[in-house]
Amino acid sequence: MIHTLGFGLPRLGPNLEYKRLLEGFWSGLLSQEKLLAGLQELEGLRATAYREAVDLHPTGELSLYDPMLDLAVALGLYAVPAGELEAYYALARGKGALPLRKWFGTNYHYLVPRLPEKPRYEPQPGWFPYPVGRDADSGEGLPTLIGPYTLVRLAQNPPTSPTELQAHLEALGEAYAELLKGASGRPVLLQEPALILDGAQEDLPHLLRPYRLLGAQFPLVLLTYYLPLRPQVAEALAGLPLRGLGLVYEPGAPWPKVSSGTALVLGVIEGLSVWRTDLLRLRKDLGPLVEAGREVWLAPKAPLYHLPWKVAELLPPELAGRLAFAEERLRELALLKGLLRGEAPEEAQAWYTPPPTWDQSLPPPPPPRPPREVRRQAQKDLGLPPFPTTTIGSFPQTKELRSLRKRLRSGDLDQAAYRQEIQEAIRKNIRLQEELGLDVLVHGEPERSDMVEFFAERLERFYTTQKGFVLSYGSRIWRPPILFAPPRRREPLVLWETLYAQSLTHKPVKAILTGPITLAAWSYLPERVSFREAVLALAEALREEVREVAAHGIRVVQVDEPALLEKLPLRAEDHPGYLALVGEAFLRVVGDLEPGVQVHQHLCYSDYAALRPFLEAMDPDVVSLEGARQDGRFLEALSGLPLELGPGAFDVHSPLEAPVEEMLARLQTYLRHLPAERLWINPDCGLKTRKSEEALANLRNMVQAAQRLRELWSSSQGGPHADGT
């Protein structure tokens, strides 16, 4: 028996309906009633898309912001009565909002809940099925929840002992049973991607009992994705009373023996890549399993929200007929089911085209940069004060700037007129920063639609879609470009904007580039090309740009790598190879620079203990990183590193103004864990998503906090120093 299961269809909708609804509500243009009605309509649209393509799909899948936050509220971790959306959204974007982290090596961000100190949960069934999507598909969908093991593994304060883990899992088993009372006998999709992580094998004794209890009460489908399970984990789970066990297909690997009532839910269709699936190869591999009479549910290897909704534009010859987004992935499941049943082989045979050969040889990397003390001495003539202030790079993207790019693409504005408008925006940004009193300036990136898409547009062998949007968090979206051959620098990437900005000021201006790890991580890479091959090819393209920028006299270069830990392999045995790749890629980009050029790096939302070896391998001069949503003690993980650090002085993902005293207190907390000579002051990320008045208020307060800190520090040091500081 063969069925198809689709899940994770993008909640953005085919025309960004989700984004418009959330932002309309946040801006006050939509009432709560209209927001919920609009989301209900979107859920119905999504259910129709599932219904037309696959046999089985979830219900209650459309989150109000983030499924992990929904789960935390449903379990009573935060006091948010059903229907109180202002209180709900305060946890996502208000003062004291929950931290953001990357979800299993992807660019989707989840909000990180905190578990209760004692394993007591107060489930609120009113939050499941969530108010959004309730009964949108007449009860035919499968209720779904993120599972208890994934919750405890990804929490801010995961259990630290086997006894504590067991207590939390047992209490959560009871809470989940309460939440799922309304499942009405339908199979329940319990999503447990954390079962693929290191440590799951050791945690099995504490996991099996809650699963067994839930499986005895509900037709439980345990869904895992992204990577195959460890054999011992798969075998242990196969012995549970489950309606279905989810496994990522691995060619040649044996299938676990499950009971006759348990379906094998096989992740066989890509959910992280955009290249069409070789369905004929899958038919050959899966045929014996089906012929043996096993019940099989064909499914994606990852939730489909990592893909755009649909291929909805004309493609260049290199890509025509080769791409599959979320809607096409559902079609692939139906085609594969037909193949396995001996139906419609002609369409399936024409579906897939083998990729071209990736043909590129790379030069050797440059030698390591001079020792840190040599670089510090060479950079003293930058003339920076104690606690230098800067920003990460982007300034607010206004409607006018977005309109400029739209007019340029449509042909209503020629390149010369567009560049003149961009110059005017840069001039305003430089003037504003000088008026505020910032020390290291940026041009503000008015020309950049996105920190990856912009570079893809200036590199050969990338394709940037017009409609291929993907959700990152909340309502924040981006369009992942598609790399289809070895990249090459077609034109200067950041040179002319940086030089123009530097011509307007005597203060140093940073040249800001997106690094090769992030360019590769946030793009769709060629089929059958390794992440390493793509990263090193991109590093060489950036290396050419950095050399030219420095040759024109720019003294500060920043390489942004917000995806650095996102791409840290999920399993420890793969970490050494990734660490070596990161070090080599960074060296290829900046290794040719003279010691007097100050190399900055920007990172986002990281586990800083895990980050430490990467900073040691890359050895930048200054690192700016997120800290505004964290306790300042996170810097203890970086204690002893000789780096200069800029933890966030304020949270750019909140629209609220942070007062001077609040920022000053945060900076003083940082100084308890960081020597004064190594502290930089900056926001925790770019200002692109903020309104101009929000950014201005916080930057003004940040500079005042820096001035106050300098005064306090100078007094504690006995007055001015010999250099006048």
Positions marked active-site: 653
Residue 625, strand partner residues: 647
Tokens of residue 532, six digits: 């390493």
Q: Which residue blocks in 552-681 are alpha helix, DSSP H?
A: 575-590, 608-618, 660-671
User: Cα dihedral angle (619, 549, 604, 572), rounded to 10 degrees?
Assistant: -50
Q: Tell me which DSSP letter residue 365 carries.
A: P
State whether the Cα torsion 348-353-354-358 is positive or negative: negative
CA dihedral of 63, 64, 69, 72, whole degrees rounded to 10: -90
Residue whose token pair is 């800290």: 627
Residue 396 preceded by cis peptide, ω within 30: no
Task: Please name which of 58, 37, 66 lies closest in space to residue 132, comparing C-alpha atoms.
Answer: 37
For residue 588, which phi and psi values (nearest 5 degrees)? -60, -35
- Whose structure tokens read 């899948």? 61
∠523-528-530 over CA atoms, to 5°?
A: 60
With residue 647 as reference, give the H or E element that holds it.
strand 644-647
Radius of gyration in angstroms for the set of CA atoms belonging to the chain, rounded to a whole number:
26
Tally Cβ neighbours within 10 Å of residue 358.
17
**Amino acid identity of 176?**
Y
For residues 91 and 68, give the distance between their C-alpha atoms in angstroms, rounded to a whole number: 12
The DSSP-derived string for 378-393 is HTGGG-PPSS-BB--S
DSSP strand pairing (476-478 vs 470-473): antiparallel
Tally the C-alpha atoms within 13 A of residue 515's C-alpha that lie toward its C-beta. 29
